[in-house]
């Protein structure tokens, strides 16, 4: 075939391509109108009976050279794209998405703001063990100027024989200490029926990684007027994580903080693999503040500082880590909690790092 013949044929194909494009978009416009009619009539958008009729019509009229199965396949793709065109805004743009709300959501926890561009620290013991233990950590935090304290009263442990937490007694201890030091409490709630009760004790309801897709719990947390810290599931994709947050906001509560805490991979050097790139992705895709839990992601005390620096450098709104007066005797996570002197050294280093970062950001703008 001569070159000019090839060019001529391609030109013809291009003319058809443009006609197809025009027809596809014309079809799209009509399909959207059909969607509006369906909304008015309150009928479902997906109509398999209608799609079957169209496929049968295609089969009857197909003159080739394409196989009927091939053209039907192409039409099924068109149906799918058409249904997407008919979807309402909520499904196309989630309530948690930046598309829906371009400005940052600022979560105010007793005056401590997450999402306003400043970077904070959420510290505290893994589990509440006693009043004295929590008080000692709170005292050290207060000395460092920190007001956001985490602590587990209900502990979802891998083994049912491990320490399960003090329950309501643990929440009472947290509240007592927090009031004494004018601090805010973040604590995990496991059961949807405990959400109401927890409002008397906590300033932020935590939904843990193992419960990220406990939809009843998400809905219950979405119905109350209290910030929620939602941890990423052990093996959850970012999309699943974002959709879990959508369950909360869809019930009316938009005070949501997302927490990257590492995901399960084949790597054994750390307890989980910290997915640091999730931070800017979540900040791009959603308007919610993002926290990095360096304790549970690494499971290693020696990695807390470098990963915390990475979290601050990549734009996390807060770093979360665990502190215990005597980690060796801690009832949970003893290998990864910092003692008080380690916590002080950690804070000094990170405060310096945070101001250097703030300085360099100011320089670059």
Residues that bind ligand ISJ (CB under 6 A): 31, 34, 45-47, 50-51, 54, 78-79, 82-83
We find the least distance from the C-beta atom of residue 49 to ligand ISJ, in angstroms, to be 8
Q: Rank residues 19 and 53 by Cβ distance to ligand ISJ and give the closer one.
A: 53
Identify the H or E element spanning 259: strand 256-260
Q: Rank residues 31 and 330 by Cβ distance to ligand ISJ and give the closer one.
A: 31
> Nearest-CB residue to ligand ISJ?
82
Q: Rank residues 49 and 365 by Cβ distance to ligand ISJ and give the closer one.
A: 49
We find the least distance from the C-beta atom of residue 85 to ligand ISJ, in angstroms, to be 9
Q: Rank residues 31 and 236 by Cβ distance to ligand ISJ and give the closer one.
A: 31
Contact 245, 272 (CB under 8 A): no
Q: Rank residues 12 and 50 by Cβ distance to ligand ISJ and give the closer one.
A: 50
We find the least distance from the C-beta atom of residue 72 to ligand ISJ, in angstroms, to be 12
We find the least distance from the C-beta atom of residue 74 to ligand ISJ, in angstroms, to be 12
Alpha-carbon torsion angle 299, 300, 303, 304, nearest 10: 70
E strand segments, 136-247? 148-150, 184-188, 204-207, 228-231
Q: Rank residues 79 and 131 by Cβ distance to ligand ISJ and give the closer one.
A: 79
Token pair 């997906």: residue:
46
Cβ neighbours for 26, distance < 8 A, ≥ 6 positions apart: none
Report residue 111 as tokens.
């005056």
Q: Rank residues 47 and 116 by Cβ distance to ligand ISJ and give the closer one.
A: 47
Name the burial class of residue 79, with classes exposed (0-12), middle (13-18) and buried (19+) by CB atoms within 10 angstroms of its CB: middle
Report residue 230 as tokens.
């939602």
We find the least distance from the C-beta atom of residue 26 to ligand ISJ, in angstroms, to be 12
We find the least distance from the C-beta atom of residue 61 to ligand ISJ, in angstroms, to be 15
The Cα–Cα gap between 198 and 289 comes to: 22
We find the least distance from the C-beta atom of residue 23 to ligand ISJ, in angstroms, to be 13
User: Long-range contacts: 132-137, Cβ < 8 Å, 24+?
Assistant: 133/324, 133/325, 134/173, 134/174, 134/177, 135/177, 135/180, 136/325, 136/340, 137/323, 137/324, 137/325, 137/340
């Amino acid at each position: 075939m001569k070159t000019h013949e090839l060019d001529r044929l391609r030109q013809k194909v291009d003319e058809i391509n443009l006609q197809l494009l025009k027809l596809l978009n014309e079809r799209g416009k009509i399909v959207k109108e059909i969607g509006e009619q369906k909304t008015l009539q309150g009928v479902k958008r997906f109509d398999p009976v209608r799609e079957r009729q169209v496929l049968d019509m295609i089969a009857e009229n197909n003159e080739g050279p394409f196989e009927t199965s091939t053209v039907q396949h192409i039409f099924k793709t068109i149906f799918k794209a058409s249904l997407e065109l008919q979807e309402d805004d909520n499904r196309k743009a989630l309530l948690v998405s930046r598309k829906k709300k371009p400005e940052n959501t600022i979560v105010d926890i007793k005056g401590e703001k997450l999402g306003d561009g400043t970077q904070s620290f959420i510290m505290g013991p893994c589990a509440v063990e006693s009043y004295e233990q929590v008080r000692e950590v709170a005292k050290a935090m207060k000395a460092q100027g920190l007001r956001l304290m985490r602590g587990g009263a209900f502990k979802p442990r891998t083994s049912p024989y491990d320490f399960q937490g003090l329950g309501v007694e643990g929440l009472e201890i947290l509240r007592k200490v927090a009031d004494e030091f004018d601090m805010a409490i973040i604590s995990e709630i496991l059961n949807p029926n405990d959400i109401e009760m927890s409002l008397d004790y906590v300033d932020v309801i935590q939904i843990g990684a193992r419960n990220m897709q406990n939809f009843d719990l998400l809905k219950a947390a979405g119905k109350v007027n209290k910030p929620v810290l939602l941890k990423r599931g052990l093996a959850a994709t970012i999309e699943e994580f974002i959709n879990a947050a959508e369950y909360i906001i869809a019930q009316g509560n938009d005070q949501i903080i997302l927490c990257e805490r590492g995901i399960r991979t084949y790597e054994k050097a750390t307890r989980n693999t910290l997915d640091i790139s999730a931070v800017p992705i979540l900040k791009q895709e959603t308007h919610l503040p993002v926290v990095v839990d360096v304790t549970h992601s690494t499971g290693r005390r020696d990695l807390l500082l470098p990963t915390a620096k990475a979290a601050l450098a990549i734009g996390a709104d807060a770093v979360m880590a665990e502190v215990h007066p005597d980690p060796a005797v801690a009832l949970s996570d003893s290998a990864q909690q910092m003692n008080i002197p380690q916590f002080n050294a950690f804070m000094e280093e990170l405060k310096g790092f945070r101001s250097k970062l703030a300085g360099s950001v100011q320089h670059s703008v």
